[in-house]
C-alpha cells in the first residue's frame, strides 16, 4: 500500500523571520511588508526595483524605501548589490515537529498588537530626509497647531501617513479643519485620522465629503443643544453628535418637532433623555409625521378608534386606548433601551 499526503497550497511554503511579526509588523507599512514577502518568496531570483514595482503595483521609490527600512531594522544587509540576512533569524515555517523527550515548557504570554504604533525617532528622521511631502506636512502642522511639534506629535502624523496610508494632503485638510473649529489637539487628529483610514477616506475628494459631513453634524448639534438648553462641559459626546445629525440632516425634523419630542420626554419621564427623544422621533419618522398639525391629526384619529376586547369585538362607549395611541409610553421606554 502506498500513502500520500495532499498538502494543497501548503505544499509550497517559504520561511518568514519571526521578528517580522514579533517586532516589526506594528510599524511596517503595507508596501514594506509586500516587498519583504515578495523577496522572501523569490529568494532564488535576481530582481530589481522596476520588476518589484510592476509586480507589487507600487512605485520604484516605495520599493527602495521598503528595502532601506528592512536594512535599517537589521533584518537584511546589502553586499555588492545582493541582499543577505543581516543576522541569524528565527523563521516561522510549517514542518513536522521532531520527537522530544523533554517536558514542554509553558508558553509565555504575548501581548497582541491590534493597531499600528508610533514609529521611533530614528525611523522618522530617515523618512523625513527621503520624503519632502511629509516634511512639508509637519511644517503645515506647526502653523495649524500654532506651536512646535513634540516628538509625540510628529510620531502621530508619521504613523497616520506611513502606517495608516493617509496622504499628506488629506492629513493637512483634517488638521486645518480641526484648527479652524478650535479642536486641533493631536488626540483629535489621531482619532479622526484612524477613523478615516478605516472608512477608506484616502483622496482629497473623499476628505472634502467627510469634512462637509463633519461640519453639518457640528452645526446640527449646535442647533439641537440650543433648542434643548443643553450646556456640555467640554466637547459633545459621539452619541449626541450622531443623534443631532440624524434628527436634522437625515430625518429632517423641524425645530418645533424636536422641541415637542423633548417636552413629551420630560413630561413623561420627569427628566431629559436623548435616547428617549430619539425613540419618539424615530416613531414619528417611520409614520411620516413631520409637522405638529400632522401629529395632532394622527393622535385625534387614534383616540376615535373604538377599543376592542380580547375577542376583537368593539364595545359601545369605548374609552381612549393607550395601545392605539401614537405615543405609547411603555413602547418608547422599550425602544429607548436600544437607541443610544
pLDDT at 99 over 60: no
- The predicted pLDDT at position 301 comes to 85
Q: What is the CATH number of the domain that holds 29?
A: 1.10.10.10
Strands 91-92 and 76-79, bridge-based pairing = unpaired
Contact 290, 254 (CB under 8 A): yes
pLDDT on residue 108 = 38
- For the purposes of burial, counting CB atoms within 10 Å of the CB of 98, is it exposed (0-12), middle (13-18) or buried (19 or more)? exposed
The whole-number pLDDT of residue 30 equals: 84
pLDDT tens, residue by residue, 35-63: 888 888 887 788 888 888 888 888 887 88
pTM confidence score: 0.51
pLDDT number for residue 10: 60
Q: CA separation (Å) from 339 to 267, 276, 278?
A: 20, 8, 7
Q: Is residue 275 part of a domain?
A: yes
**Domain edge (last residue) among 30, 61, 87:** 87
- Please, are residues 131 and 172 in contact by the beta-carbon 8 Å criterion? no
Q: Is residue 262 part of a domain?
A: yes
| Domain count for the chain | 3
Q: Is residue 229 part of a domain?
A: yes
Distance CA 263, CA 259 (A): 6
pLDDT for residue 89: 41
* CATH number of residue 152's parent domain: 1.10.10
- The answer to whether residues 161 and 270 belong to one domain is no
Indicate whether 60 and 150 sit together in one domain.
no
User: Does a structural domain hold residue 104?
Assistant: no
pLDDT of residue 97: 43
Structure-model confidence comparison of residues 80 and 42, the more confident one: 42
Decide the pairing of beta strands 91-92 and 16-17: antiparallel
Higher pLDDT, 30 or 108: 30
Q: What is the mean pLDDT of the chain?
A: 77
Domain that holds residue 147: 121-202
Q: What is the pLDDT of residues 116-161, one digit of tens each?
A: 567 777 888 888 888 889 989 999 999 988 889 888 899 899 999 9
Domain annotation covers residue 73: yes
DSSP state of 220: H
Same domain, 53 and 80: yes
Asked if residue 31 belongs to a domain, the reply is yes
Bridge partners of 85?
76
Model confidence at 110: pLDDT above 90 = no
pLDDT of 126 reads 85
Cell of 307: 377599543
Q: Is residue 218 within 8 Å of residue 186, measured between CB atoms? A: no
Least confident of 55-64, 247-256, 292-301, 318-327: 318-327
The Cβ of residue 139 has, within 10 Å, a number of other Cβ atoms equal to: 10
Please identify, among 87, 113, 145, the residue that sits at the C-terminal boundary of a domain.
87
Structural domain contains residue 93:
no
Where is the domain boundary, 202, 237, 262?
Answer: 202
Q: Is the pLDDT of residue 311 over 80?
A: no
- In this predicted structure, what is the pLDDT of residue 160? 93
Are both 58 and 130 inside the same structural domain?
no
271 part of a folded domain:
yes
* Domain identity same for 193 and 236: no
User: How do residues 220-273 score in pLDDT, each as one tens digit?
Assistant: 999 999 988 887 656 788 888 899 999 999 999 999 999 999 999 999 988 888
Q: Are residues 194 and 288 in the same domain?
A: no
Amino acid at each position: 500500500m502506498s500513502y500520500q499526503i495532499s498538502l494543497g497550497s501548503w505544499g509550497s511554503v517559504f520561511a518568514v523571520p519571526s521578528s517580522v511579526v514579533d517586532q516589526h509588523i506594528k510599524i511596517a507599512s503595507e508596501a514594506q511588508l509586500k516587498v519583504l514577502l515578495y523577496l522572501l518568496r523569490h529568494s532564488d531570483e535576481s530582481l530589481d526595483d522596476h520588476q518589484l514595482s510592476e509586480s507589487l503595483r507600487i512605485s520604484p521609490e516605495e520599493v527602495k524605501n521598503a528595502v532601506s527600512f528592512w536594512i535599517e531594522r537589521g533584518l537584511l544587509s546589502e553586499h555588492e548589490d545582493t541582499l543577505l540576512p543581516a543576522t541569524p533569524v528565527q523563521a516561522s515555517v510549517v514542518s513536522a515537529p521532531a520527537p522530544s523527550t523533554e517536558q514542554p515548557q509553558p508558553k509565555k504570554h504575548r501581548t497582541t498588537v491590534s493597531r499600528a504604533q508610533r514609529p521611533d525617532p530614528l525611523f522618522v528622521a530617515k523618512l523625513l530626509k527621503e520624503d519632502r511631502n511629509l516634511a512639508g506636512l509637519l511644517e503645515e502642522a506647526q502653523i495649524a497647531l500654532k506651536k512646535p511639534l513634540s516628538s509625540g506629535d510628529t510620531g502621530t502624523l508619521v504613523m497616520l501617513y506611513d502606517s495608516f496610508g493617509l496622504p499628506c494632503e488629506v492629513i493637512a485638510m483634517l488638521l486645518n479643519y480641526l484648527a479652524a473649529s478650535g479642536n486641533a489637539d493631536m488626540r483629535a487628529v489621531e482619532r479622526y485620522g484612524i477613523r478615516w483610514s478605516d472608512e477608506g477616506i484616502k483622496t482629497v475628494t473623499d476628505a472634502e465629503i467627510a469634512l462637509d459631513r463633519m461640519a453639518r453634524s457640528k452645526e446640527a448639534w449646535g442647533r439641537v443643544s440650543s433648542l434643548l438648553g443643553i450646556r456640555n462641559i467640554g466637547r459633545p459626546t459621539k452619541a449626541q453628535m450622531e443623534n443631532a445629525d440624524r434628527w436634522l440632516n437625515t430625518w429632517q425634523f423641524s425645530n418645533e418637532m424636536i422641541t415637542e419630542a423633548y417636552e413629551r420626554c420630560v413630561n413623561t419621564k420627569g427628566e431629559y433623555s436623548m435616547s428617549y427623544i430619539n425613540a419618539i422621533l424615530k416613531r414619528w419618522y417611520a409614520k411620516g409625521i413631520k409637522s405638529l398639525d400632522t401629529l395632532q391629526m394622527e393622535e385625534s384619529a387614534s383616540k376615535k378608534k373604538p377599543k376592542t376586547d380580547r375577542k376583537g369585538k368593539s364595545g359601545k362607549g369605548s374609552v381612549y386606548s393607550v395601545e392605539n395611541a401614537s405615543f405609547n409610553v411603555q413602547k418608547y421606554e422599550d425602544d429607548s433601551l436600544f437607541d443610544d
